[in-house]
C-alpha cells in the first residue's frame, strides 16, 4: 500500500517536471521578436520588451529554464503582454465566473447521470436503456460550440426569452440576471458532461452486477432492491467518484470553446483569447496550470483507488 | 444484435460521408468559391439546398468540399497517431526497463495536457496550416494508443500461446510480428476508430476559432466561424456545417461502439477515461 502510494507520488512528480520542461521548450520555440513587428496583435511594446529581457536568450538553455522555474516557484508567472498586468491576477479575476458555471454544470450533470445511469443499468437492453445510450452517444458527438449556436438561435433570436452572450446586462447584474445569462452555457455543458458521465455510471454499475458476490447474493434469495443498495451501489460508487476526481481540472479551467461562444467572462475564454493574441506568458502559465491540475487529479484518483480496492495494494 | 445495429448504421453513415467527399465535384450544384453579390444570405431553396453565405456562395457545395478536409484530417492524423503510438508502445513493452520508463512517462506528460489546449498552443505558435493541424492532432493522440499497445502486449506475453511459440524456438521478432501484434489488433482498432471523431472535432474547433485550416479553403469549422456573425439573420448558415460535424463524429462513435461490443471489449478501462473540455 505504502510503496504503491510512494511510487505513484514519484511518478506524479516526474510528470510535473516533464510538464514544466515541455511547456518551457514549446515556448522556447515560439518566435519572440516577430511579436513586436506585428501591430495586429495589439500587444503592449513595453511588456514585450520586459518579457524578452526576462527570457535572457543570450544565456544557455538550461540556465534559462532554471531561471524561469525559480520564478515560477516564487509565484512569479510574469505579466500579460496584452494587459501589462500579472498573469496570476488576471486569471484569479476570471476564476469565480468559471467556477460558477463549471460547478453548477458538474453538479447537475453528475446528479442526473447517477440517477439515470443506475436506472438504465438495472434494466439493461430495455427500450429506455437503448434510448439513453443512443442519446448519450449523440451528446458526445455534438460539437459544443455548435450546440451553443443552435440554442442561441432558438432561445435568443427565434423566441427571444434569454440573452445570447455575456454574464450580466450592463447596469443590472442581479442574481436573476446572471442566472438568465448562465442558462444557455449551462445547458451546453450539462449536455456534454451528462452524456459522458451517464455511460460511465451505467458501465460501472453493470460491471459490479456481473461480479460473483452479486450472483451469490441473488442465490441467497435477497431481493433485487436489497442487492442494488447493499451490494452493487457501494461498489460501483468508487469508479464514479474516481471519474469525479478526474473532472476536477475541468472545473478550474472551464469549458474553453463553450465559454468563447457565449462570451462568458471566465478562464476558459481567457485561455482562448490569450492564445489567439499570442500572449505568451499567459499561454505558458495556463498550460502549466492546467497540466499540473490534471496530473494532480490523476494522482488523487489513483490514491482513491488504492484506498478502496485492496487488490491493487 | 444491438452491436450489429450500431456497427451497421455507423459504417453506412461513414460510407455515405466518404462518398459525398470523394464525389464532391460531381454532386456539388455550384462552384464552392464563386461569390455573388446579389445572392448573399439566401435561405435554403431548390436552387441552393442549404442557402447561401455572406458572399453569396452555395453552402451545400461548400459543405461537400468541407467533408474532404474534415475526413482527411480525421483519418490522416489517426494514421500518424496509430503509427507513432504502435511503434512506441511496442518499443516500450519489448525492451522494458529504461526505454519503457522514458516512453511511458513522456506519454503521461503529453496526456496531462488537455488535447484542445495543447492544440491551440502549438497552432498559435506556428503559422496555422493543414499539415500542422494534422500533426498537432496526431501529437495529442498517440499516447493513448502507445499505452494501449503496451498493455496489450504485456498481457499477451503472459499467455500460453506465446509461451508455446517460444518453446518451439520462435525468435523475438517472430513472436512480436506473428503473435503479439495480430492479437492486439482488436482493441487498437477500436481505439483508432475513436481517434477519428476526436480529430474531426478538434479540427472543427480549431477552424472555428480561426486557428485551423485557413480560408478560403471551405471547412465546416471555418463556415461556423463566419456564420457566428450572421446567426441572427441566417440560421441555415450555422446549422448545416455544424450538423455535418455532428453526423460525422456520431458515425465514427457508433462504429467504435459497435466494434467494441462485437469484439467483446469492456468499456470501463478507467485509464481510457478523459474529462471533456
Domain chopping of chain B, boundaries: 5-18+51-276
State whether residue A283 sits within 8 Å of chain B by CB: yes
State the nearest Cα–Cα gap between A119 and chain B, in angstroms.
Answer: 18
Indicate if the pLDDT at residue B274 is higher than 60.
no
State the nearest Cα–Cα gap between B231 and chain A, in angstroms.
Answer: 7
The pLDDT of residue A303 is 85
Q: Smallest Cα–Cα separation from B8: which of B258, B217, B209, B273?
A: B258
Position of cell 481540472? A249
State whether residue A125 sits within 8 Å of chain B by CB: yes
CA separation for the pair B94, B143 (Å, rounded) = 17
Q: Is B43 helix (H, G, I), strand (E, B) or coil?
A: coil
- Of A113, A136, A149, which to mutate for an interface test with B (greatest number of B Cβ within 10 Å)? A149
CA separation for the pair A266, A256 (Å, rounded) = 9
The pLDDT of residue A276 is 84
- Of B98, B124, B140, B202, which to mutate for an interface test with A (greatest number of A Cβ within 10 Å)? B124
Q: Which of B231, B257, B276 sits opposite A153 (nearest CB)?
A: B231
Q: In chain A, which among 239-278 make CB contacts under 8 A with chain B?
A: 239, 242-243, 246-247, 249-250, 253, 255-257, 260-261, 271-272, 275-276, 278
The pLDDT of residue B46 is 80
Q: Domain boundaries in chain A?
A: 94-263
Choose between B26 and A313: higher pLDDT.
B26
CB B222 within 8 A of CB B212: yes
| Residue A76, C-beta contacts closer than 8 angstroms, at least 6 positions apart | none
Class for domain A94-263, per CATH?
A: mainly alpha
Q: Smallest Cα–Cα separation from A268: which of A161, A151, A148, A152?
A: A148
| Cell, residue B131 | 499539415
User: Is domain B5-18+51-276 classified as CATH 1.10.357.10?
Assistant: no
CB B165 within 8 A of CB B173: no
CB B137 within 8 A of CB B213: no
Mean pLDDT of all residues belonging to chain B: 85
Inspect the interface and report whether the beta carbons of A255 and B273 lie closer than 8 Å. no
- C-alpha B201: how far from its chain's center? 7
Quickly list H helices, chain A. 2-28, 34-37, 45-55, 61-73, 87-122, 127-141, 144-152, 175-209, 212-219, 224-226, 233-246, 248-253, 256-261, 267-276, 280-308
Inspect the interface and report whether the beta carbons of A137 and B249 lie closer than 8 Å. no
Inspect the interface and report whether the beta carbons of A193 and B270 lie closer than 8 Å. no
CA dihedral A169, A174, A177, A183 (to 10 degrees): 120
| Cell, residue A232 | 452493487
The pLDDT of residue B1 is 47
State whether residue A300 sits within 8 Å of chain B by CB: no
In the predicted model, residues of chain A with pLDDT beneath 70 are 1, 32-40, 173, 310-313
Q: How does residue B271 score in pLDDT terms, banded at 50, 70 and 90?
A: very low
The pLDDT of residue B275 is 38
State whether residue B200 sits within 8 Å of chain A by CB: no
Q: Smallest Cα–Cα separation from A278: which of A22, A69, A31, A21?
A: A31
Mean local confidence (pLDDT), B145-172: 83
CB A81 within 8 A of CB A35: yes
Inspect the interface and report whether the beta carbons of B121 and A130 lie closer than 8 Å. no
CA separation for the pair B169, A80 (Å, rounded) = 63
pLDDT tens profile B182-233: 787 888 888 899 899 999 999 999 999 888 888 888 899 999 998 888 888 8
Indicate if the pLDDT at residue B58 is higher than 80.
yes
Q: How does residue B3 score in pLDDT terms, banded at 50, 70 and 90?
A: low
Q: How does residue B268 score in pLDDT terms, banded at 50, 70 and 90?
A: very low
CA separation for the pair A48, A54 (Å, rounded) = 10
Q: What does R_g of chain B's alpha carbons equal in angstroms?
A: 22
The pLDDT of residue A256 is 83
Inspect the interface and report whether the beta carbons of A30 and B125 lie closer than 8 Å. yes
Indicate if the pLDDT at residue B276 is higher than 50.
no
CA separation for the pair A97, A90 (Å, rounded) = 13
| Cβ contacts of A196 on chain B, cutoff 8 Å | 275-276
The winner for highest mean pLDDT among A245-249, B21-25, B75-79 is B75-79
The pLDDT of residue B170 is 76
Q: Lowest mean pLDDT of A137-141, B2-6, B173-177, name the range.
A: B2-6
Apex A207 CA angle, A205 and A208, nearest 5: 70
Choose between B44 and A106: higher pLDDT.
A106
The pLDDT of residue A39 is 64
Q: In chain A, which among 180-219 make CB contacts under 8 A with chain B?
A: 192-193, 196, 199-200, 203-204, 207
Number of A:B CB contacts under 8 A?
154
Q: Which of B2, B208, B210 sits opposite A125 (nearest CB)?
A: B2
Query: How many CB atoms sit inside 10 A of residue B257's CB?
Result: 23
The pLDDT of residue A313 is 60
Mean local confidence (pLDDT), B149-162: 83
Apex A185 CA angle, A179 and A188, nearest 5: 135
| Cβ contacts of B197 on chain A, cutoff 8 Å | 141
H or E element, residue B101: helix B97-112
Amino acid at each position: 500500500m505504502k510503496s504503491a502510494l510512494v511510487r505513484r507520488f514519484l511518478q506524479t512528480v516526474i510528470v510535473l517536471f516533464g510538464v514544466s520542461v515541455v511547456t518551457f521548450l514549446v515556448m522556447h520555440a515560439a518566435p519572440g521578436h516577430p511579436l513586436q513587428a506585428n501591430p495586429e496583435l495589439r500587444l503592449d511594446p513595453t511588456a514585450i520588451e520586459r518579457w524578452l529581457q526576462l527570457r535572457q536568450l543570450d544565456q544557455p538553455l538550461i540556465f534559462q529554464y532554471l531561471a524561469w522555474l525559480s520564478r515560477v516557484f516564487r509565484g512569479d508567472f510574469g505579466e500579460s503582454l496584452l494587459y501589462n498586468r500579472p498573469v496570476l491576477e488576471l486569471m484569479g479575476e476570471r476564476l469565480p465566473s468559471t467556477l460558477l458555471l463549471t460547478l453548477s454544470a458538474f453538479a447537475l450533470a453528475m446528479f442526473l447521470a447517477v440517477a439515470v445511469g443506475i436506472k438504465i443499468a438495472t434494466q439493461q437492453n430495455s427500450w429506455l436503456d437503448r434510448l439513453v445510450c443512443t442519446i448519450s452517444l449523440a451528446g458526445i458527438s455534438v460539437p459544443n460550440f455548435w450546440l451553443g449556436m443552435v440554442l442561441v438561435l432558438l432561445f435568443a433570436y427565434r423566441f427571444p426569452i434569454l440573452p445570447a452572450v455575456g454574464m450580466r446586462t450592463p447596469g443590472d447584474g442581479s442574481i436573476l440576471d446572471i442566472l438568465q445569462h448562465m442558462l444557455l452555457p449551462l445547458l451546453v455543458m450539462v449536455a456534454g458532461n451528462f452524456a459522458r458521465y451517464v455511460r460511465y455510471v451505467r458501465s460501472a454499475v453493470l460491471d459490479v452486477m456481473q461480479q460473483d458476490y452479486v450472483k451469490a447474493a441473488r442465490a441467497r434469495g435477497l431481493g433485487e432492491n436489497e442487492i442494488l443498495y447493499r451490494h452493487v451501489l457501494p461498489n460501483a460508487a468508487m469508479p464514479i467518484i474516481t471519474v469525479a476526481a478526474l473532472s476536477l481540472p475541468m472545473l478550474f479551467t472551464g469549458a474553453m470553446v463553450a465559454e468563447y461562444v457565449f462570451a462568458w467572462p471566465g478562464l476558459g475564454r481567457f485561455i482562448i483569447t490569450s492564445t489567439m493574441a499570442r500572449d505568451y506568458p499567459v499561454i505558458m502559465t495556463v498550460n502549466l496550470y492546467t497540466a499540473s491540475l490534471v496530473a494532480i487529479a490523476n494522482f488523487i484518483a489513483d490514491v482513491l483507488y488504492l484506498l478502496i480496492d485492496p487488490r491493487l495494494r | 444484435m444491438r452491436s450489429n445495429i450500431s456497427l451497421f448504421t455507423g459504417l453506412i453513415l461513414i460510407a455515405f460521408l466518404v462518398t459525398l467527399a470523394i464525389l464532391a465535384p460531381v454532386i456539388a450544384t455550384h462552384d464552392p468559391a464563386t461569390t455573388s453579390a446579389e445572392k448573399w444570405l439566401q435561405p435554403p431553396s431548390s436552387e441552393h439546398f442549404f442557402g447561401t453565405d455572406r458572399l453569396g456562395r452555395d453552402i451545400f457545395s461548400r459543405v461537400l468540399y468541407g467533408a474532404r478536409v474534415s475526413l482527411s484530417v480525421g483519418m490522416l492524423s489517426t494514421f500518424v497517431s496509430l503509427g507513432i503510438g504502435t511503434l512506441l508502445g511496442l518499443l516500450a513493452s519489448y525492451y522494458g526497463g529504461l526505454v519503457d520508463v522514458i516512453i511511458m512517462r513522456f506519454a503521461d506528460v503529453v496526456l496531462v495536457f488537455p488535447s484542445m489546449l495543447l492544440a491551440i498552443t502549438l497552432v498559435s505558435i506556428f503559422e496555422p496550416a493543414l499539415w500542422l493541424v494534422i500533426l498537432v492532432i496526431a501529437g495529442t493522440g498517440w499516447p493513448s494508443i502507445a499505452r494501449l499497445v503496451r498493455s496489450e502486449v504485456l498481457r499477451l506475453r503472459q499467455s500460453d500461446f506465446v509461451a508455446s511459440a517460444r518453446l518451439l524456438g520462435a525468435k523475438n521478432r517472430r513472436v512480436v510480428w506473428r503473435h503479439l501484434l495480430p492479437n492486439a489488433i482488436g482493441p487498437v482498432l477500436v481505439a483508432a476508430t475513436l481517434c477519428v471523431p476526436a480529430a474531426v472535432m478538434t479540427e472543427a474547433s480549431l477552424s472555428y476559432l480561426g486557428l485551423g485550416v485557413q480560408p478560403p479553403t471551405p471547412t465546416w469549422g471555418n463556415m461556423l466561424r463566419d456564420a457566428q456573425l450572421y446567426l441572427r439573420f441566417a440560421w441555415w448558415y450555422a446549422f448545416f456545417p455544424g450538423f455535418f460535424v455532428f453526423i460525422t463524429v456520431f458515425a465514427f462513435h457508433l462504429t467504435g461502439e459497435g466494434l467494441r461490443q462485437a469484439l467483446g471489449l469492456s468499456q470501463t478501462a478507467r485509464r481510457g477515461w478523459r474529462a471533456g473540455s
